[in-house]
Amino acid sequence: MMKKIALSLLLAAGFAGSASATTLGITTNVDNVFSIYVSTSDSALGNFVGSGTDWTHTYNFNTALTAGTTNYIHLVATNQGGPGGFLGAFTLDDSAFVFDNGTQNLLTNTTDWKQNTSGFGNAYSAAAGEGNLGTSPWFTVSGYGSSSPTWLWNYVSNSGNDFNTVYFTATVNSVPEPTSLALLGLGLFGLAAGRKRKQK
């Protein structure tokens, strides 16, 4: 009987809060060409979210995250001349997930974003900052309100003409729900109690 109750509690913990998916909101400008994905593995490209080819245009996308596991934002950017750059602001519409900064809001910065030029899942380094929103040569682009994201890129030279493709990644961490943790604890307690009774 105790095993059945424990199993029921564990199942309830697994399904708690699964009625609606968390939405990731994306605002971005990329110099020049980009595609963005969301993955449950940092070694896999993931599900396609959107793309663009005009850095002067501020792109907006929304996509659902996979519940109960770590998600990864993957952005592939290719520079086609002059300096390359990636600017962005990201939001979560509930508290089921947090970014690495512990909140539901993430700007492009040199702390929470990593990059390489060899592909997702390979060794990363911290993304290099080129200046905040408003810096030359992009100056001000629309869509960011009072926030001040940082233009990111991976320099391969100091010439300002970096014809390369950069792979950017940021982590979106799943937050266990308090009710799920409590039910899980009760379920494990019930299993332990059942085992002790058998041993007597």
Chain mean pLDDT for the chain = 84
Q: Is the dihedral of CA 46, 93, 99, 66 positive or negative?
A: negative
Q: Can you give the pLDDT at residue 178?
A: 77
Joined tokens for residue 69: 């596991």
Rounded Cα gap, residues 39 and 91, in angstroms: 16
Q: Can you give the pLDDT at residue 19?
A: 56
How crowded is residue 199: how many other Cβ atoms within 10 Å of its Cβ? 5
Query: pLDDT tens for residues 22-68?
Result: 999 999 999 999 999 999 999 999 999 999 999 999 999 999 999 99
* 185 vs 76: which has the higher pLDDT: 76
Query: pLDDT tens for residues 91-116?
Result: 999 999 999 999 999 999 999 999 99
Residue 121: is its pLDDT beyond 80? yes
Rounded Cα gap, residues 19 and 39, in angstroms: 21
Q: Please state, in angstroms and as integers, the Cα–Cα distance from residue 173 to each residue in 21, 98, 180, 186, 190, following that order.
A: 14, 5, 16, 25, 29
Strand-pair category, 47-52 with 33-39: antiparallel
Query: pLDDT tens for residues 167-184?
Result: 999 999 999 987 644 444
Nearest to 77 by CA among 54, 58, 44, 102: 54
Contact 76, 167 (CB under 8 A): yes
Contacts of residue 146, defined as CB under 8 A and 6 or more positions apart, other chains included, come to: none
Residue 164 — pLDDT band, cuts 50, 70, 90? confident
How crowded is residue 188: how many other Cβ atoms within 10 Å of its Cβ? 13
Q: Can you give the pLDDT at residue 25?
A: 98
Residue 161 — pLDDT band, cuts 50, 70, 90? low
Contact 197, 122 (CB under 8 A): no
